[in-house]
Structure 1
């Protein structure tokens, strides 16, 4: 984090990224002295409600973060920034998104946790739009013009007011990661809840070190005193994340049931002193590690793999089979994962793998319909992307490359379902 004093003293000349969080109520004009170099500007966590009309005087500005401020409208000056492609205004009080605020090269727009009930039609005239994050607003519809956004891959509309999903949305050729939980359309689905999940009293858990933390909660190691076994406890945060509500995530985790490629849920925590929602889960063997890292600002929707990551074809196949199997299992239970990605997969050297993080999961009807098939085939494209990433690092056969291209084809309903994908992967195994 930089300081205003450093900025004012001219100590930051030549930097490409500026991070300022110091209770700002207005935009420091000294930022313009960085115009020759500044590409990324992070003003999150201040008290700003406006930006200067001449913001375009930062000609190299590509990324702007203004989350956790006091904006009530997306500033129109953004539209004049010729190179601006990524905009983040999470957790403001934005109600109005003017068309003029959308820059021509817009690729990644984050408006999570605001009060937006309408978006401008011009949003569909941003052909590079790839990632659109709108969870936790008041939207009941999307601009029909978004049907033109053929590069849109990731869409988060959880916790809004949608009573149906528009037909054009389910035909978008590149849509891959969709989250829509916590809308009337999703809540109308009759979820076959698994009521066999036991309650585990908080008093029976002895918490130890933090194992990890994500947007939706903190995972801690614990001792379950009643059984003497070490477990993991996921304590959910109550706030809206970029994917949606952590409590929906918990519901999906439970509804997913048992599968060898899922982390087993042992029970719900009962009697937490602050009424915090939590799940007790199996502790994962430490030989497991994350398959990939989260996408970067540059890669947008694509995971980052360590440069030396390589697999044998056998290990890659084993992982692909495991993920196809668990995805088929979820779809049979009326759940789309919504975030089927390498960074949500844990794996070991033998190719055993576990799919985690249900933060973007949504429920759909289990009866076969065109909508159900489309929702499932959108997720098949995510599997296709993952398969491509595995094959890039393992070498590949013609059959696997053909499967990859079938999963990623532009015609959503022409993609195979996971049952068929499993069958193809099994037949390759037996050669």
Structure 2
């Protein structure tokens, strides 16, 4: 086996191969032949799937500087060196099915990276620096132990496909709704209790999968015309038809789901006056939206940081008129069994919820209008 490996690498050097396949080689250590002398300066794609590697060499970028794709699926890698950030041309990195417990912040230096796959590891968090990957199109962090996603993920402006199935997520940042190229979002089998109010507002987002989040009882009405997966959400599908209305009534009285902490008031159809704090926030937001994004150019405003953050990323936008909302919402329930999608999703009692900015919008909103 060692002789065959040596010959494969020798041939690759001699013939200046751009692709090198070292899958299923029972490798315990990274082959030193790849790193001798000048290394393989011309190599662009390295495949090392299903070996027994536990780490990567610190001089990988120095010896393989032109790597575009690095596939390390199904090894025993526990840690990757900080020097990984020196692979300036890397576009695809697959570390799925390993033993990663930590992802170093230097991954944020891979500014050419387009595809990052980290599924089936032991990650409990992701570095904020992932938000620096502005070329990233695919991020797969499914089957880990994540309890949250980085707030800065919204800076990955090219992101099209985000998969975070089978983690421990109870919520995810509302800033994700500002990913205007995001086409598919999958958050199945987590611990979600609510979804961002603006989820689905972007026309580009067409596929949303939140199956098997048993505490998730409401979907933003923006998702109504999307392709959604919500089997196993909400109360048990075995609730009798007679008791279903009562359960949904209780859910509505509790605003359906656990709401974001920023929600201070849940309005009703009889409320004719929006609270002063909300009106002030809406006025400030209009002022901010008409000025440069550089906050240092704005006049100083004495507000808590949480409210300043809300000015940049509102809680949501009215599903009827698109007015930004900050501290109050007016929810309107549309049980799934009463919609055209009832026959598609039989294994759920989840409902659509319209989040409006006033009692007037609440009264005039129609899900299928």
In structure 1, the residue matched to 2:131 is: 124
| 1:205-216 equivalence runs, <5 A | none
In structure 2, what is the equivalent of residue 65 of structure 1? Answer: 71
In structure 2, distance between residues paired with 1:142 and 1:27:
31
* Residue number in structure 2 paired with 1:101: 107
Aligned to 1:41: 46
Pair 19,150 (structure 1): closer, same or farther in 2 beyond 3 Å: same
Q: CA deviation at 1:363?
A: 7.7
Distance 1:96 1:26 in 2: 20
Match of 1:241 in 2: none
Match of 2:58 in 1: 53
8 Å contact kept, 1:181–1:363: no
Instruction: Measure how far apart 1:183 and its partner are.
Output: 0.4
Q: Which residue of 2 aligns with 1:28?
A: 31
CA distance 1:141–1:110, shift in 2 (3 Å): same
Residue 189 (str. 1) matches residue 222 (str. 2): no
Deviation at 1:369, TM superposition (A): 3.3
**How far, CA to CA, are the matches of 1:110 and 1:65 in structure 2?**
9
- The corresponding residue for 1:76 is 82
What CA distance in whole angstroms lies between the structure 2 residues aligned with 1:159 and 1:88?
18
Please state how far the C-alpha of 1:115 moved relative to its aligned partner: 0.7
Residue of structure 1 equivalent to 2:93: 87
SS at match of 1:69: coil
TM-score (norm 2): 0.52
Listed one character per residue, the Cα deviations across residues 327-354 of structure 1 (whole Å, up to 9, x for unaligned) are x96598569xxxxxxxxxxxxxxxxxxx
Distance 1:18 1:419 in 2: 54
Aligned length: 218
For 1:165 and 1:47, the matched residues in 2 are separated by 34
Distance in 1 separating the partners of 2:180 and 2:12: 47
User: RMSD of the TM alignment (CA)?
Assistant: 3.4
User: Distance in 2 between the 1:331 and 1:38 partners?
Assistant: 53
Contact 1:75 1:101 in 2 (8 A): no
Within a 5 Å distance, the mapping from 1:375-394 to structure 2 comes to none
> Which has the larger Rg?
2
Contact 1:56 1:78 in 2 (8 A): yes
Q: Which runs of 5+ in 1 are unaligned?
A: 192-247, 256-327, 336-361, 372-416, 421-431
Q: Is the 8 A contact 2:230 2:350 kept in 1?
A: no
| 8 A contact 1:48–1:70 mirrored in 2 | yes
